[in-house]
């Protein structure tokens, strides 16, 4: 039986270990998500994400990390699924489906009406899994700025942000 539950601060070692496995399985560098960073960013004063844990056979089988978003076109709340990972020995048992459904259900309770996620083009098994749940968007290009690109983007306006605007919910 698969049980989906909210992640706790005590799941830090398990989640950071699975995040590392996810990054490596995608062909990337090891994830920078350490147990300490998970505790601070997920359970600190200003949490950056929420997470769910899948348990199966008395062990942690996988996790999902997600955060809230807003779509001005539809004027609706939604969720961005950042990570979905199932340990290899638990795959093809419904754990991934249970996790993504758990995220959707929890977020719908909070007023969400949509979910976005991304997957590497080369990750064919994951794309096949996601296509069974929902269609791929063919007319959307995902753009990203990391590291120096992000710094250049944030430095475009050299004037500091008006202090009145700074306190409108964007706290990092």
pLDDT value at residue 170:
55
Asked if residue 130 is part of any domain, the answer here is yes
pLDDT value at residue 124:
86
pLDDT value at residue 159:
61
Q: How many helices (H) and strands (E) does the chain have?
A: 6, 5
Asked if residue 144 is part of any domain, the answer here is no
Asked if residue 162 is part of any domain, the answer here is no
Asked if residue 125 is part of any domain, the answer here is yes
DSSP labels for 18-72? HHHHHHHHTTSPPP---HHHHHHHHHSSS---EEEEEEETTEEEEEEEEEEEEET
Written as tens digits, the pLDDT of the chain (172 aa) is 999 999 999 999 999 999 999 988 877 788 899 999 999 999 999 999 999 999 999 899 999 999 999 999 999 999 999 999 999 999 999 999 999 999 999 999 999 999 999 888 888 888 888 888 887 788 888 888 889 998 888 888 866 666 655 555 555 5
Nearest to 96, CA basis, from 57, 59, 133, 47: 133
Count of structural domains within the chain: 1
Asked if residue 151 is part of any domain, the answer here is no
Asked if residue 164 is part of any domain, the answer here is no
Range of the domain at 32: 2-136
Asked if residue 78 is part of any domain, the answer here is yes
What is the rounded distance in angstroms from the CA atom of residue 44 to the CA atom of residue 31?
20
What is the rounded distance in angstroms from the CA atom of residue 172 to the CA atom of residue 160?
16
pLDDT value at residue 138:
80
Domain with residue 87: its CATH number is 3.40.630.30
pLDDT value at residue 67:
96
Asked if residue 117 is part of any domain, the answer here is yes
């Amino acid at each position: 039986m698969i049980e989906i539950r909210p992640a706790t601060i005590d799941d830090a070692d398990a989640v950071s270990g699975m995040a590392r496995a996810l990054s490596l399985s995608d062909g990337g560098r090891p994830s920078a998500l350490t147990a300490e960073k998970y505790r601070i960013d997920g359970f600190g004063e200003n949490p950056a994400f929420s997470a769910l844990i899948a348990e199966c056979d008395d062990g942690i089988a996988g996790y999902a990390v997600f955060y809230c978003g807003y779509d001005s076109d539809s004027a609706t709340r939604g969720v961005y699924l950042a990570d979905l990972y199932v340990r290899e020995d638990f795959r093809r048992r419904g754990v991934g489906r249970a996790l993504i459904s758990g995220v959707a259900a929890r977020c719908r309770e909070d007023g969400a009406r949509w979910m976005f996620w991304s997957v590497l083009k080369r990750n064919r098994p994951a794309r096949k899994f996601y296509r069974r749940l929902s269609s791929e968007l063919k007319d959307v290009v995902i753009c990203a700025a990391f590291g120096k690109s992000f710094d250049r983007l944030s430095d475009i306006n050299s004037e500091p942000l008006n202090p009145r605007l700074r306190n409108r919910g964007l706290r990092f």
